[in-house]
Structure 1
Amino acid sequence: MPEFPRLLIAGCGDLGCRTGSTLAAQGWSVQGLRRQVAGLPPSIHPLAGDLAQAQCPAGWPAQAPNYLLYAAAADRSDEPAYRAAYVDGLRHVLGWLTEHGQRPRRLLFVSSTAVYGQHSGEWVDEASPCEPQGFTGRVLLEAERLALSSGIPASVVRLAGLYEGTSRWLVDQLRAGLTPTAEPPLYSNRIHRDDAAALLAYLLQADAHGERLETIYLGVDDEPAPLHEVAEWLRARFDIKTPPGAPMQRRAGSKRCSNARARSLGWAPRYPSYREGYGES
């Protein structure tokens, strides 16, 4: 393998750009595949292509990438869009690699904690059963299996809800009067966008340095928290005076995700809880 590996990021959106920029700053050669390449940072080489189309992009690299990071995101919240982004898109990229006789050293597939169906506050880790209740988790689980059976050494990273200090979705919900229930507590899991990108970069670097990676990692911060406690903290942090009103509806279950495996590799979140993450804004 070359001193500075070649990385192809398929579905190079916000998360891919953050990860790619980190590695490019350390000398990696990074190429970003997406439909509109004009928004890519200068450190990421553009590759125009559509993951939803079976035809291989015209600019496909002649040199095989040492690593493939699959970080696509669905452009709509329905099952056909999820299947197109995660299952069909991954199958297309794997086909393009085969077409060119290329086999990366490792595939890193970005998934979600939505693959878990636990809903009673259970602790969840990489060995916990995956019994998703909705199409989101079912499609992602199918895509994970495709990645892990691809013939390329692969690792799946199941990320919790992405946010950053300027994220305002939950704050806006509270300002509208929506309120999470306290009993039973609804446990929520999250990871700051910078920490998620740092974890992906850390795993790729670890493999490049010869460390053995597991097939599954959970990407979450240190502190799963009842959503009503997060809400109370945000009310104080952003001086929200709106009286509590209608109960807040959540699609996800109630579970507590552990990051012990990722931490055992040496990674640690810069924002260990929602307090540090939202407190930066």
Structure 2
Amino acid sequence: MSIAVLRTYISRHKEEYAAKFNLKNKFQNEVQDEMQVTNLEKCQGELRASIVLEALAASGLRAIRYACEVDGIGQVLAIDKDKVCIEICKKNIILNGPATCSKVAAHLGDARVYMLTHPKEFDVVDLDPYGTPSIFLDSAVQSLVDGGLLMCTATDLAVLCGEDRDVCYSKYGSYPLKGKYCHEMALRILLACIESHANRYKRFIVPVLSVYMDYYIRVFVRVYTSPIAMKKTTLKLAYVYQCVACDSFHLQRIGRATTKVREKVRSELSSF
């Protein structure tokens, strides 16, 4: 699943890059100055190969699969703070041949510190911790380039589904409700948590795929930078009112969009 999403993202990223820098074909009939044409050709550089960061790499299996099975990846960084895991990861990289060695690199260290010290550097960040990913989200959203892909897994499904609401609030900032929709609510709680971390840096997320499976949930989101779009986050959030006697529920949105009227128009309307 992750490989399929990653392939789709790289393909989509290439299309977006081509559309963004297709200036020469669009304006070639309008541009006459030779110097301007030269500048346009310089702007149309080749797309940089994607850089993938796998935090909590363990044996490096997923990082190796990304490098071997996904085209368009330039480098995969596998990070773990366990020395034994990094040694095993390096051995696995060597066992998979020189092609893998040229793409995959293993690093010993804390993934949070590494992401914080490399802001807006990675095209893809994969978070698959044991338990909650909340402690990694703040640094993860900062390390992604504009439009980058964040792949995040949460295995503490019992907490997200309402078994311990206080713990869920301390980790994700939301109180879950027990109901038939508990697994969908778990996905939405995780998405809202990622969005809240992104908003602190004038960024917002666009969900690509959200999956509940067995004992975990996994979401794929793209992270963009836009102060204007970030202000519309409240339009995507709501409070849930659950009936105690049946399965009926009601959603109350946190915010709503309004059109501001200029002072001049207000004065004209008040004169009538």
TM over 0.5: no
Q: Which has the higher helix share?
A: 2
Q: Say which one has the larger Rg.
A: 2
Higher relative contact order (CA 8 A, sep 6+): 1
